[in-house]
Structure 1
Amino acid sequence: MTAPHASLPVHEAANALELGRQQAARGDFQGARRSFEFATRCAPASFDAWFLLGITYMRDERRLEALPALRQAHRLQPDQLDAMRALADAEFHAGLPGDALPLWQSVVAARPADVDARLKLGETLNRLGLLDREIANYQDALGSLPESADIWMALAQAREDGGDRTGAAEAYGQAMRFRPGWITPLGGLLSLQRKDPPAELVEQALALQARADLADRDRALLGYALGKIQDSRSLHAAAMASWHDANAARRRTSGEYDRSQAQTSIQRLMHVFDAAFFAREAAAIGHLDERPVFVVGMPRSGTTLTEQIVAMHSQAHGCGELPDIPLLVKSMGNRWPDNAAELGREYLEQESARYLAAASRHAPANALRLVDKSPLNYFNLGLIALMFPRARVVWCRRDPRDIALSIYSENFSLDARFATDLDAIAHSIALQTRLMRHWQSTLPLPIHELQYEALVESPEPQAKALIAFLGLPWESACLEFHRSNRPVQTPSRWQVREPIHARSAGRWRPYAGELPDFDPESFPGPGADRSD
């Protein structure tokens, strides 16, 4: 952003603002930004100039670049609610939920019946791990908005995170009551009650699934949920048909997986982060803190279970899936990883400190290990090694056929394009294995392989080896994680509220004919059962 010069004629600011508005209206965001930046130079005390510049960056999905302009607009008019909520949104998406929180609280205080503000406040509290306050926010909102289906829906999801199955079902039902025909709570209720769903709800969902005019977003939600119900009833052909239907709808919505792009990304990481790189960059280190533990692997490979085991230790803290490292990589854009060698000590120390503040936000003072279980951080281990050269990595591995089936049957985010095609999932698993083998040979970080099948078959010796790898004394409570009331915000939220069991191992077998071939290296452990 160009520095403002007060000497420019102030009347030119009005012309620049009007031109910028016209450019933004026709979608010329680059031109609009230039006009609004010129206006800030003409009139550096103009709230409109700074606000419109920030909003234009936001509309162009460039939230990090929007922050300085929106912060300046907020400084100029601290009580202006539109600027306050725009800044709160930008702070949140820049990975600064702690800065977004007081802003959303101020917006809600001024507009307590603003549904969007209530939802954004709840999302921010959720990101900060303040589940009780998130639920209280929704319950308070229902005092003045008792028929808001959106608030009831958010409350249902928060109650699920907290393990309140009965309360979640009630809230889903209220969301359906106040917005008849809304598919999202129906899908949530079916997923929640998949072992014993009400027959009328299943019939309703099947009738909707059969409609040719059902919107793809709704088709996907119902397909994932119905498939799980059919799977629980051993109706395997029907389950796979539902998942095929759901994933085809999701592909139409979010696009196809780009195999070439995925392969190129892995090759770039391996090219940049070779053994010589870490020898050269040994002096450019971030933080010597030994607490960070990064649990990585394919989604559905046992990362949540692993975190729960460690989190029960009296000297460890489970952070959940922290977004901070992925957001940091995203902020670097196309420069990453080619600019990795340009990251200086000061930058690494700054970002390391910021990450540690997020990771330790709810940790007890005596926590010696902070466990971040964002599975896809396996992409980011090169950066992690620079930020935390004394960190530890746990690589969760599982039979790729069980991973593939579990991913394919799950409602992942729209940007997880690999998750909607079985061949794409197999390709992703192979790339992940290749990259992790590269990290094992080049990273100056210890990496512990943890095999899901071995863990569920022999929990105690595997858990003891895991805790020993983390440098902690063994505590039997680590196998009592199902007694914990910690919030869990992943698809495994209900499985980890049960004692360890092996029922999910080999779940792929009834679907063997539908699954693609897998690279032999994708199978964990020399003793893995690879028979059909």
Structure 2
Amino acid sequence: MEIDLQRQVERARQEPRLLRAGEALVANDLPVAEQLLRPYLKERPTDVFAIRMMAELAARVGRLPDSENLLRRALELAPDFTAARANLATVLYKQNRSGEAIAELERIEKSGEAGLGHHSLKAAALSRIGGQEEALALYRLILDARPDEPKLWMSYGHLQRTVGEQAECIDAYRKAIALEPTLGEVWWSLANLKTVKFDNDDVAAMNAALEVPNLDMQDRFHLHFALGKALEDRREVDASFSHYAQANRLRRAIATYDPQDIARHVERSIAVFTPDLFAAHAGEGCGRDDPIFVLGMPRAGSTLVEQILASHPAIEGTAELPDIPALVRRLDGREMRGDDSDYPECLVDIDGATLKALGEEYLDRARIQRFTDRPFFIDKLPNNWAHVGFIRLILPNARIIDARRDPMDCCFSNFKQHYARGQRFSYDLADIGAYYRDYVTLMRHFDDVLPGVVHRVIHEDLVEDPETQVRAMLDFLGLSFDPACLAFHENPRAVRTASSEQVRQPITRSGIGRWMPYEPWLDPLKQALGTVLEDWRR
């Protein structure tokens, strides 16, 4: 059944309850909006404007699948409802389903109703799945029409960084700053290039931005992170740490992170993933051997490992793929964060057909990130360390490489790094230390129950003797040595991580021991690491 969209438009403009619900959404008063919308939709379940508003509410509280279902219902009733289709594209994008988001945006384009906002979302989605050139063209189109939009210049700069065009990236960031000097994220983006050194004028400008009344919280913590880096480069250690600490305090306050969640996950995983479980599922799962999982702590050198391996003619580098966590979220049975999870216990009684289907689904989902016919590809999501057992069950022939770095350098590097998403543990020294300790605990378990399945690369060993370590990795993968792996910095591939600039340079020892000047402030980190501080290599 299709409804008369224009008629509903006219009715919605005159409906007091919808008007009040809209005001509540604008004010972010979600309980009031929900109290108005739920009874209204019971009376008028085909009102697509109310459905769209309820979808907006669901998205804001993190119920993205619910939001998606509501938007699909609205489009079933009104296929020409462009605003709902654009919302659906956004929800799909937020669920890391960029290909599907692009398909919805292209339907809007075909209708002739695409605007600059739609082009911007499409560019962002394309950049996630390796469509950098098309995304750059879209950003240029948008910027020609809106050259005074600082966040568009920032997004354009992010993409130039990904493709290795550092001069263009810096120019775009500087244009954003000229338009909006208090935009903290772009200051941090410049700092996050690692190779950029701020001058006195930059430091003064950032300090001035921090003095602006009613400065947005996001701008404030980004500025503190950027100033921490600027002052670290000047060896002003006390002031540098003060800014890093302020940035992390602000960020931690909105991170909603409980370190016991990871500790419990590790404890439960150790109980579930036993030798008996793997023996019971021997010969099951998807037998393909395409994937190489490079995992471990963030800031442990996984991007370097990926860049080295992706320089081999048999291996394609992709990105930090969201697909293993997406499959896990579907299995865990939770509707909201904080609900009890069925994972990993749900794997105890899982059948072979389901394991095979999950492995095949992973490969199908990952295919959108592949652009060559090379036989192997890399999934470089560090946090996949928490799902090694699941990976082994659904893809028993996949290779797994654990990239590990000295805990003090690794953990302090996380403390200095602001992540746009996904690393909520990284804003407190004790939380970071506990996370590293839990990671090592689980990886040791898999060393015991799956001996030889995980190959460990110690970052410091790779820096000191690259050829030996590269040969060992390739032996583990069953591949012959190729000299291109040692010339990894010449590889022109796009790199979408915070280490993108470092891996375009030869290996150096510059990252080793960077924590030492900050040692007076790092006791909480050392205490949280415990015995792992001394025996982290095994």
- CA apart distance, 1:78: 2.7
SS of aligned partner of 2:437: helix
Q: 2:419 aligns with which of 412, 417, 429?
A: 412
Q: Offset of 1:30 from its aligned partner?
A: 9.3
Moved more, 143-152 or 408-417: 408-417
**Aligned equivalent of 1:258:** 258
SS in 2 for 1:312: coil
Q: 1:199 to 1:106 in 2, by over 3 A?
A: farther
How far the C-alpha of 1:165 sits from its partner, in A, is: 1.4
Matched length:
505
1:75/1:213 Cα in 2 relative to 1: closer, same or farther (>3 Å)?
closer
**1:176-214: per-residue Cα shift (whole Å, max 9, x none)?**
233343333233234447643243112111333467865
- 2:295 is paired with a residue whose SS is strand
Query: Would the alpha carbon gap of residues 67 and 214 (structure 1) be closer, same or farther in structure 2, given more than 3 Å must change?
Result: closer
C-alpha distance 460-417 of structure 1, shift in aligned 2 (>3 A): same
Partner of 1:363: 370
**Post-superposition shift, 1:484?**
1.4
Tell me the equivalent position of 1:318: 317
Letter in 1 for 2:233: S
Which string of whole-angstrom CA distances, capped at 9 and with x for unpartnered residues, describes residues 466-515 of structure 1? 11111111101011111112111111111111011112112222222222
Structure 2 counterpart of 1:485: 492
Deviations 1:227-277 (A, max 9, x none): 22222222222221221121112123334x423333222212222222222
Corresponding position of 1:9: none
* Matching residue of 2:437: 430
Aligned to 1:216: 217
* Residues 193 and 498 in structure 2, CA contact (< 8 A), matched pair in contact too: no
Give the Å deviation of 1:84.
0.8
Matched, 1:395 2:396: no
Distance in structure 2 (CA, Å) of the matches to 1:174 and 1:471: 48
Give 1:273's aligned residue. Answer: 273
| Secondary structure at the counterpart of residue 519 of structure 1 | helix
Match of 2:530 among 508, 514, 519: 519
Q: Against the structure 1 CA distance between its residues 219 and 179, is the aligned structure 2 distance closer, same or farther, given a 3 Å change threshold?
A: closer
**Residues in 2 aligned to 1:428 and 1:103: alpha-carbon distance in whole angstroms:** 38
Aligned to 1:303: 302
Q: Which residue of 2 aligns with 1:465?
A: 472
Please give the alpha-carbon distance, in whole angstroms, between the structure 2 residues aligned to 1:181 and 1:60: 28
Residue 450 of structure 1 corresponds to: 457
Aligned counterpart, 1:157: 158
Please, what is the CA RMSD of the aligned residues?
3.0
Higher deviation after alignment, 360-369 or 448-457: 360-369
Residues in 1 aligned to 2:380 and 2:194: alpha-carbon distance in whole angstroms: 27
**Rounded Cα–Cα distance in structure 2 between residues aligned with 1:282 and 1:519:** 36
Given the superposition, is the C-alpha separation of residues 300 and 220 from structure 1 closer, same or farther in structure 2, using an over 3 Å criterion? Answer: same
* Partner Cα distance (2:38, 2:301) in 1: 46
What is the distance in 2 between the residues matched to 1:346 and 1:39?
A: 42
- Unmatched 5+ residue regions in structure 2? 2-10, 25-30, 335-340
Residue 346 of structure 2 corresponds to: 339
Aligned to 2:327: 328
The 3-state SS of whatever aligns with 2:140 is helix
Identity within the alignment, %: 29
| Residue-by-residue CA offset, 1:417-452 (whole Å, 9 max, x unaligned) | 321111211111111100111122234871001000
User: Which residue of 1 is the match for residue 141 of structure 2?
Assistant: 140
1:512 match: secondary structure: helix
Deviation, 1:404, is: 1.5
Q: Is the 8 A contact 1:300 1:407 kept in 2?
A: yes
Q: 1:360 aligns to what SS in structure 2?
A: helix
Following the alignment from structure 1 to structure 2, what is the Cα–Cα distance between the partners of residues 84 and 315? 40
- Of 489-498 and 96-105, the range deviating more from structure 2: 96-105
Read off the aligned partner of 1:286 and give its amino acid letter: G
Give the AA of the match of 1:274: T
Q: Which amino acid aligns with 1:235?
A: E
Partner of 2:316: helix, strand, or coil?
Answer: strand
CA displacement, residues 383-415 of structure 1 (integer Å, 9 cap, x when unaligned): 211210111111111110001111111112365
Paired residue for 1:291?
290
| DSSP 3-state at the match of 2:254 | helix
Unaligned runs of 5+ in 1: 5-13
**Contact conserved, 2:310 with 2:316, CA < 8 A, in 1?**
yes
The letter for the 2-side match of 1:259 is P
Match of 1:188 in 2: 189
TM-score between both structures, scaled by the size of structure 2: 0.85
Q: Does the C-alpha gap of structure 1 residues 328 and 36 become closer, same or farther in structure 2, counting only changes over 3 Å?
A: farther
Deviations 1:58-89 (A, max 9, x none): 34422223434433433443322022112212
Q: Which residue of 2 aligns with 1:120?
A: 121
Separation (CA, whole Å) in 2 of partners of 1:343 and 1:396: 30
Q: TM-score of the superposition, structure 1-length normalised?
A: 0.86
